Amino acid sequence: MDSATATATHAALVRAIHQRHRLRFVYHGKPRLVEPQCYGIGTQGTQLLRVHQLRGGAQREPLFDVAQIEQLQVLDEVFERPGPHYRKDDSAMRKIFAQL
């Protein structure tokens, strides 16, 4: 991911979390529909996105490596509340940019 794309992705993820907008993207070749919950730097130094996943995989609240996300779209659809297992200050992240 080049720096312009990384900057645009960062801004889109922060905005989507603050405004509670759903996201659509492709990850490892699979289309995903998600509600973003938390975005930050993981313990290994990679940018991570915790989501409540609605479509695209069996895991309900996975972590995604942001560098591997393709075709990111912030949708006009909004969601009301965090996923059922959401915990503020996600322990998988050492620094948080945005969270619900």
Please tell me the predicted confidence (pLDDT) of residue 80. Answer: 95
If one counts the domains in the chain, the total is: 1
Please tell me the predicted confidence (pLDDT) of residue 57. Answer: 86
**Owning domain of residue 85:** 3-99
Report residue 7: phi and psi, to 5°: -65, -45
Please tell me the predicted confidence (pLDDT) of residue 26. Answer: 97
If pLDDT is split at 50, 70 and 90, which confidence band does 2 have?
confident
Please tell me the predicted confidence (pLDDT) of residue 58. Answer: 84
Is pLDDT at 1 greater than 80 in this prediction? no
Number of other residues whose CB lies within 10 A of the CB of residue 91: 7
DSSP codes joined into one string, 21-85: EEEEEEETTEEEEEEEEEEEEETTS-EEEEEEEEES-S-SS-EEEGGGEEEEEEEEEE-SS--TT
Please tell me the predicted confidence (pLDDT) of residue 73. Answer: 97
As a whole number, mean pLDDT of residues 13-35 equals 97
Alpha-carbon separation of residue 2 from 7, 8, 28, 38, 63 (angstroms): 9, 10, 19, 23, 22
79-94 pLDDT tens trace: 999 999 999 999 999 9
As a whole number, mean pLDDT of residues 64-92 equals 95
Rounded percentage of the chain residues whose pLDDT exceeds 90: 87
What CATH number is associated with residue 54? 2.30.30
